[in-house]
Structure 1
Amino acid sequence: MNDLYVLYRGPLASCNYDCPYCPFAKRVDPPSLLRADKSDLLRFASWVEETTDRRLSVLFTPWGEGLTRSWYRETIVRLSHLPHVARVAIQTNLAARVDWLSTADLSVAALWATYHPGQVTRERFLARCRQLDSLGVRYSVGVVGVPSHYEEAAALRSALPPSVYLWINAAEGHAYSADEERRWTALDPRFGDSVRPHRSLGLPCHAGETAISVLGDGTVRRCHFISEPLGNLYDGSWRAALRPRPCTNITCDCHIGYVHLKPLGLRDVYADGLLERVLPAPTSSAVSLPFPVARGNVVPGR
């Protein structure tokens, strides 16, 4: 069965947080947009159900916070029980309750979680993580690597189980000194992937071949960062457009984009944890360290 990674983003843009590094902070969607988002998502879920000729892995990447909306929670549970869905995951700030995951197939459902210091206490965030642990949910946890977040990120790493991968996204517009880079890399051994944009122009990429980006209206693109459409999900026109192709952007600086660049080999690094950004257990365990630690030479998403 052919594997296809699908990144879905509907019109939802509202969020309950007001992070200074996010343009969608504290946005409130009008009821009409929320109705449209729900309708689009349910249509997409029906397409997933009906598309049984491929093994599908789905990542929801809403601009806002999806898990505060019942239709995202219900859709994740629904898709997790489909035999041709290998993974269904969502990017989330973990502000919403997580007990609903007890009805999902936890060999399929997973979370990509981000901790935002200043928006929630570490204790409250860790309590959510402990709930996920007790339920047996696969998840990763990340922090945006602004300097003021370092102590919180280090404390979070110490408090999380060694098996939980803590990733750090380089802060947009921040230039990291060699010492800063080593410091953050002690928390996340893959920080080097995020700290500098990857040259991508002309390089082969899985995007547009075995990975696609889907908008709420069904527009299919290679990825979130190349606007040229490949077709529409619902008329089947996207199928004929899938093929190997080089990247047309000069650089790629977001994890959900560069993880598909073939020369980086990150699909092999993340294996079946690719969409939820979960590293295989041996690597995850290796990052449970005393802090602060500097380690060797160093070779964003939400």
Structure 2
Amino acid sequence: MLTILYRGPLASCDYDCPYCPFAKRRDTREQLRADRAALERFCAWAADQDEDLSILFTPWGEGLVRSWYRRALVDLSRLPRVRRVAIQTNLSCRTGWLADADRDTVALWCTYHPGQTPRDRFLTKTAELTTLGVRFSVGVVGLPEHLEAARRLRAELPDSVYLWVNAAEGHEYIDADAADWTEIDPLFEFSRHPHRTRGSACRTGDSVVSVDGAGTVRRCHFVPEVLGNLHDGSFRHALRPRPCPLDVCDCHIGYVHAEQLPLYDVFAGGVLERIPTEPVWLPLPTASTSH
């Protein structure tokens, strides 16, 4: 199976989080048309494949407020060779359209942004997902000012819903602070420190690739080397196991694919949507895998 992380040119968002460079950014009509055309071309490519695919949309902006992303998730979820299609979202969109999707295939990676939406409204959306039978995870950015909101969210979410915490970029966590976040997310230690990855085996570039709106294929979002193009098939000859060329990997959508970490077991069946295997957690990484 080939796992694809797709990121088109969309860079607009309806939220204005102070820690995000794309807050309240507006795409022009021309940029939106280009993003729509690129996504539709990608979906047409996926529909023409004779191998199993697993697809995660990782837009810089918010995709689900755009009709073409909602339609893409529905259409892709109904393709026989698509095993999972998921998207990262702030869940500001309506949810009823998911009734048309294959609920065994579609999934959402939802981020709660305190200060951008009332907690009750966000919880109502998650309850709608549960009623629809849609798989989803929920998460927050681990900023100190988000701690109490995250605790309240954890208390009000069903126990069956995983609440993940992303370490805030550039933020150092003393042990006491990390313990607070670990009470919310038992897997926080994986995010707390960047992982030393240079020379280590990684699934990216072999069974996992990154694709942009032009169809340019790279091993992941964080390594600029081009492997080829999706639409002419030139990327396929470059697929092979290869070590990571970066000193560290500090983003979940990157290090989840690192073979030195047990995350494919932790998230078995839910790697793209970040849903751990129930009911147990695996041991946290040792000092040799992160710093």
Q: 2:233 aligns with which of 236, 245, 254?
A: 236
What displacement does 1:55 show? 1.0
Per the alignment, residue 214 of structure 2 pairs with 217
Deviations 1:19-64 (A, max 9, x none): 0111000000000000000000000001110011x21000000000
TM alignment of 1:1-302, pairs within 5 A: 3-52=1-50, 54-283=51-280
Q: How far did 1:298 drift?
A: 9.1
For 1:157, the aligned partner's letter is: R
| C-alpha spacing 1:235/1:116, structure 2 compared with 1 (3 Å) | same
User: Where has structure 1 moved over 4 Å in runs of 4 or more?
Assistant: 296-299
Q: C-alpha deviations, 1:172-202, integer Å up to 9, x for none?
A: 1111111111110010011001000000100
Take 2:39 and 2:262, find their aligned partners in 1: how far apart are those partners? 31
Letter matched to residue 190 of structure 2: D
Q: Distance in 2 between matches of 1:105 and 1:172?
A: 35
Cα distance in 2, alignment partners of residues 21 and 205 from structure 1: 29
What SS does structure 2 have at the residue aligned with 1:157? helix
CA distance in 1, matches of 2:94, 2:280: 29
- Aligned-pair CA distance for 1:269: 1.1
Deviation readout 1:1-30 (Å, 9 max, x if unpaired): xx1110000000000000011100000000
Give the CA deviation at 1:265.
Answer: 2.2
**SS at structure 2 position matched to 1:272:** coil
Give 3-state SS (helix, strand or coil) of 1:88's partner. Answer: strand
Q: CA RMSD in A?
A: 1.5
Amino acid at match of 2:168: A
Equivalent-residue separation in structure 2 for 1:277 and 1:66 (angstroms)? 18
Per-residue displacement from partner, 1:210-239 (whole Å, max 9, x unpaired)?
Answer: 000000000000000001100000010111
The AA in structure 2 aligned to 1:253 is D
The answer to whether the 8 A contact 1:181-1:298 is kept is: no
Superposition TM-score, scaled by structure 1 size: 0.93
Give distance in 1, aligned partners of 2:184 and 2:250. Answer: 20
Aligned AA (1:51): Q
TM-score (structure 2 length as normaliser): 0.96
Cα separation, 1, equivalents of 2:272 and 2:128: 21
Question: Structure 1: which 5+ runs fail to align?
Answer: 287-295
- 1:290 counterpart residue number: none
Distance 1:41 1:283 in 2: 37
- How far does residue 281 in structure 1 lie from its aligned partner after superposition? 2.7
Residues 37 and 140 of structure 1, relative CA distance in 2, 3 Å threshold: same
* Separation in structure 2 between the aligned mates of residue 265 and residue 171 of structure 1, nearest angstrom: 22
Partner secondary structure for residue 52 of structure 2? strand
SS in 2 for 1:125: helix
Q: Distance in 1 between matches of 2:149 and 2:167?
A: 15
